[in-house]
Chains A and B, each alone.
Chain A
Amino acid sequence: DTGVSQNPRHKITKRGQNVTFRCDPISEHNRLYWYRQTLGQGPEFLTYFQNEAQLEKSRLLSDRFSAERPKGSFSTLEIQRTEQGDSAMYLCASSSVNLVSNQPQHFGDGTRLSIL
């Protein structure tokens, strides 16, 4: 399977704890995105990378959130001092963008975070 892979699929933690999620994009894709989806809503953009550079961050990404893509391959999303409102599905997507083509974003199955 060469799709977008996210780990873990589910994470349950106590309020105040730190959590980290991992995303492995489709190997030839140079762009990687993070979205958050709450129940009954559409995904909301958090941030994206082109190769290892983080190019855009949503105002939803508070200072408790940090994302990295150190070698331009996999990415991690860390949430520090988790709060109840952080409970959501965190989706990762990747795409290949160049001057010739504009390919759609392909999504992983997400990490569902539950804060107790």
Chain B
Amino acid sequence: AQSVAQPEDQVNVAEGNPLTVKCTYSVSGNPYLFWYVQYPNRGLQFLLKYITGDNLVKGSYGFEAEFNKSQTSFHLKKPSALVSDSALYFCAVRDGSNAGNMLTFGGGTRLMVKP
């Protein structure tokens, strides 16, 4: 079984400040980790993924995420938040050792960036 926890329902940050959205995961095999963003009444947009290699992954719109195997975490970060970053963010995991491709999502974190 695989699971994802996003411990914060909402994160508030001032524009220009750094942001972090937390994610921890549980998977029996190799973790393939993803971050997606969702705007109102829209589907999910892919931001970045970790499959293998460098623990720091860079993605779209200036976002990055750090894979930490010992802490089973994959926190999303951005050095300087924009008001337009305000949205719902989802972390997802799948078991890379499994031929299936099912993603398990966390419950989401709402990011509010205030001017």
Contacts and interface: CB of A to CB of B under 8 A. Distances in A.
Interface in B78-112: 90, 92, 96, 100-108
A11 to B, nearest CB: 14
Contact of B108 (A6, A42, A44, A95): A42
Given A42-B90, A43-B90, A102-B32, A107 B44 contact: yes
B107 A45 contact: no
A29 B96 CA distance: 19
Contacts of B34: 104-105
A31 interface: yes
A81 to B, nearest CB: 26
Contact of B46 (A41, A55, A104): A104
B100 A56 contact: yes
A33 B90 contact: no
Interface residues of B, number: 24
A43 B107 contact: no
Interface string A17-45: 00000000000000101010000111111
B58 to A, nearest CB: 14
Interface of B: 4, 32, 34, 36, 41-46, 49, 51, 90, 92, 96, 100-108
Interface of A: 4, 6, 31, 33, 35, 40-45, 48, 55-56, 58, 91, 93, 95, 97, 102, 104-110, 112
What are the nearest 4 A-B pairs in CB distance? A42-B105, A107-B43, A107-B44, A109-B43
